């Protein structure tokens, strides 16, 4: 549905074009890791999707959760070297924008279903 779409593949390409951003380690001592930030952002955006669409069937909600898990798995693979490091402000900003674009794909999948 989402992770098999052309839009998602284009987002992966966009992400890989910006991988250099994640080569730099944070100089701040932060307890959060890139994994924490990504997981929190994905979960928050998924909750927004569900609250915006309260009439979604349980099976479809479950499918969206599986898709969200696949997005996290893809990001963990792409960001393997930075996954357990503390993110920089610039990295967090990029992740916010990127995950917002992923949310748009979820919104699109829902609107196509209706």
pLDDT of residue 29: 66
Q: Which two tokens stand for residue 11?
A: 């987002």
pLDDT digits (tens, 9 = 90+) for 16-62: 999 999 998 877 767 899 999 999 999 999 999 999 999 999 999 99
pLDDT digits (tens, 9 = 90+) for 54-81: 999 999 999 999 999 999 999 999 999 9
pLDDT of residue 27: 78
Domain annotation covers residue 78? yes
What secondary structure, in 3-state letters, does 24-40 show?
CCCCCCCCCCHHHHHHH
Domain annotation covers residue 50? yes
Go through the chain and tell me how many residues it has. Answer: 114
Burial of 22 (0-12, 13-18, 19+ CB in 10 A): buried
Domain annotation covers residue 43? yes
Domain count, the chain: 1
Domain annotation covers residue 1? no
Domain annotation covers residue 38? yes
Q: Which DSSP letter does residue 20 get?
A: G
Domain annotation covers residue 56? yes
Whether the CB-CB separation of 9 and 101 falls below 8 Å is answered with no
Domain annotation covers residue 75? yes
Print the domain residue range for 18: 6-112
């Amino acid at each position: 549905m989402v992770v098999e779409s052309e839009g998602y593949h284009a987002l992966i390409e966009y992400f890989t074009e910006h991988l250099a951003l994640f080569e730099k380690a944070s100089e701040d001592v932060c307890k959060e890791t890139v994994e924490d930030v990504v997981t929190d952002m994905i979960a928050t955006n998924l909750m927004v999707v569900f609250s915006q669409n309260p009439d979604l069937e349980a099976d479809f909600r479950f499918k969206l959760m599986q898709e969200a898990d696949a997005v996290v798995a893809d990001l963990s693979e792409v960001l393997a070297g930075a996954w357990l490091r503390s993110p920089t402000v610039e990295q967090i900003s990029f992740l916010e924008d990127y995950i917002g674009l992923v949310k748009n794909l979820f919104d699109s999948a829902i609107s196509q279903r209706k």
